[in-house]
Amino acid sequence: MTKTSFDLVVVGGGPGGYVAAIRAAQLGMSVALVERAELGGICLNWGCIPTKALLHSATVLRACREAAHYGVTGAGGARPDLAAMVARSRKVAGRLGQGVAHLMKKNGVTVFAASARLAGSGKLALDDGATLSAKHIILATGARARDLPALPVGERIWAYRQALVPTEIPKSLLVVGAGAIGAEFASFYRAVGAEVTLIDMTPEILPQEDAEISQLARKAFEKQGIRVLTRCAVTASSTTADGVKVTLEHEGKKLEQTFDRVIVAAGIVGNVENLGLEKTRVKVEKTHIVTDDLCRTGESGVYAIGDVAGAPWLAHKASHEAVLCVEAIAGLPVHAIDPLRIPACTYSYPQVASIGMTEARAREHATKTGGEIRVGKFTFAGNGKAIAMGEDQGLVKTVFDAKSGELLGAHIIHPEASELITGYGVAASLEATEEDLMHTVFAHPTLSETLHESVLAAFGRALHA
């Protein structure tokens, strides 16, 4: 007979949910995981992982086309095999999904393939008729793409799921939303040959990033042939035999254009429906569950982590919250997550990565507190490894408190930005000062030397600028 009583039940099997289940099992709890779809959640199956697989295919294609520059002949005529790219992407996601299933079995986590809703104190009702009881319940139900009334998803208007499994390369493509998801899809589809238009309502693409970095990203995208329109919104659309006829409002003017396909990447909403929250003390604001710094909701014994608990909507934030939440339940000493120490990455070409405050936010903070900041910049054009790789375009930017030397923010634009940002993440977590970073020995020749040079530049000591 299947066990129905546990110390902890986790609802949702994404990067937050399955990590919470593993950590709880490691701490000796009896654990169940309820997942209505695929283990690994959206991130593993329809988000982070499959998009990166497609983007890597684009990177290989780009490298082949530019091979002659590196003294390699015969690869310049490389063409995309879209079906093979998509098949590989799905295979990668499938492999990792099997890995999560193995981890659940290895750690003794009971998995229920069902939907669940709160059904009274310490109880969950599953849609298959079963009832689970638990001392603690973690809601990790994630989020989904925001619907735009002017762009109903269908055969020609895609959300991320449809965009990940195309059967043909669109001749022309409109990407609505120039955040991380939109920028990544724009990069992939441009690399495989689509004529791409990327739009956003804000003044710059990647609006959460430092303004200087966003502007550099825009220039890089436009150099690749991506048409970028900011302060632009879709007001109406209609599907025709030839594509999608879209009405755009761009800086007060109306534009009409027909695109072969449209991708909607205009934010997300939390999956808070049908969880049985109505008769509980759990509060929901703007489609996200309200929690304290230990992931506790207003209902005793009920917790929320990951995307459903609000920004930043990042898989690594969800996983970190999972460990924090479970360890707090177990009575271990924990530290609340500082949002300014969570790195953000966009895997476009070039990549953009950041941690902490933008320069504008740091200046605003300094003005309010009577302090000052110091800003350092170093371009990859001065880095030997970047020049050897043929990837010498990009910038590392650091922001420090002038008096204390605290690292307030770091921002990188470069094809390897996502791998480099963790250096600053470690520094921020260890509360390293500019002196600590200056005294750190960086291997040569490496791209990471740019991290060092940017710190030196902030204090007037750059060696290769």
Q: For residue 242, say whether it is annotated as part of any ligand binding site.
A: no
Q: 252 labelled as ligand-binding?
A: no
Query: Is 344 annotated as belonging to a binding site?
Result: no
- Residue 339 CB neighbour total at 10 angstroms: 10
Beta-carbon neighbour count of residue 52 at 10 Å? 16
Q: Which helix (H) or strand (E) holds 49?
A: helix 48-65
Q: Per the annotation, does 20 bind a ligand?
A: no
Which of 143, 95, 106 lies closest to 304, judged by CA?
143
267 is in an annotated binding site: yes
177 is in an annotated binding site: yes
Report in angstroms the alpha-carbon separations of 448 from 63, 378, 405, 408, 464: 22, 11, 20, 19, 14
Q: Which two tokens stand for residue 73?
A: 């002949």
User: Is residue 458 a known part of a binding site?
Assistant: no
- Chain centroid to CA 194: 24
Residue pair 31/109 in contact by the 8 Å Cβ criterion: yes
**CA nearest to 195, candidates 218, 155, 224:** 224
Are 135 and 301 in contact, with CB atoms under 8 Å apart? Answer: yes
Listed in sequence order, the residues at least 6 apart from 437 whose beta carbon sits closer than 8 Å to its beta carbon are 407, 427, 451, 452, 455
CA 176 to chain CA centroid, Å, is 17
178 is in an annotated binding site: yes
Strand order in the sheet with 261-264: 157-158, 261-264, 172-176, 195-200, 227-230
Q: According to the annotation, is 307 in a ligand binding site?
A: yes
Residue 410 counted as an annotated binding residue: no
Q: What is the DSSP letter of 29?
A: -
Return the structure tokens found at 317: 């934030």
181 is known to lie in a ligand binding site:
yes
Alpha-carbon distance of 255 to 253, in angstroms, equals: 7
Cβ neighbours of residue 311 closer than 8 Å, sequence gap 6 or more: 339
- In angstroms, how far apart are the furthest CA atoms of the chain? 70
Amino acid code (one letter) for 194: A
The full 3-state SS of 166-206, as one line of letters, equals CCCCCCEEEEECCCHHHHHHHHHHHHCCCEEEEEECCCCCC
133 vs 32: CA distance, rounded Å? 10
Spot the catalytic one: 69, 320, 444, 452. 444
Residue 444 appears among annotated catalytic residues = yes
Residues making up the binding site for NAD(+): 177-184, 267
Residues making up the binding site: 52, 177-184, 267, 307
Q: Which residues are catalytic?
A: 444
Residues making up the binding site for FAD: 52, 307
